[in-house]
Amino acid sequence: MTTASFGQPIRRNEDQRLVTGQGSYTDDVGPDAWALVIVRSPYANARILSIDTSEAKALDGVIAVWTYDDLPGRLSEPLPLLIPHPSLVAARTQDVLARDRVRHVGQSVVAVLAKDRYIGEDAAE
């Protein structure tokens, strides 16, 4: 960009591919990519008494079903606070998957990995 461009609209180099459908987004990486489907809380505030994943795991094409109890090591700890601010005296971050209770509608509770989205959603249901 030179001073000759000051005050001028500048065309973006990436627009050519974006307006022709040639962009490449995460969902475009490949038709064989596995799909992760998250089961989310329908409740604003509730205790998780039990989760039965056996039926979901038994479905053909389901690769894995995870709940909080399946998370190993540091994944079972609340997510790290990357830039801790000194004024936060009791900082809290979320768990990857809900532990014992949910605190908002839409909180992730179970993660299902499947060969495709359709199977993943079958298992999530």
Residue closest to 93 by CA, chosen among 79, 105, 103, 104: 79
- Sequence-distant (6+) residues with CB within 8 A of 98 are 41, 48, 68, 107, 108, 109
Contact characters 40-59, other proteins, x per CB under 8 A = -------------------x
Counting contacts by CB under 8 A, is residue 9 touching other proteins?
A: yes
Counting contacts by CB under 8 A, is residue 21 touching other proteins?
A: yes
The stretch among 72-80, 81-89, 97-105, 117-125 that binds other proteins (CB under 8 A) is: 117-125
Torsion of Cα atoms, 16 then 22 then 23 then 24, to 10°: -150
Answer for which of 63, 95, 122, 124 binds other proteins (CB under 8 A) is: 122
Counting contacts by CB under 8 A, is residue 60 touching other proteins?
A: yes
Long-range contacts (CB closer than 8 Å, 24 or more residues apart) made by 23-28:
none
Contact characters 87-106, other proteins, x per CB under 8 A = --------------------
Counting contacts by CB under 8 A, is residue 14 touching other proteins?
A: yes
- The contact set with other proteins (CB under 8 A) reads 9, 11-12, 14-16, 18-25, 27-28, 31, 59-61, 115, 117-119, 122
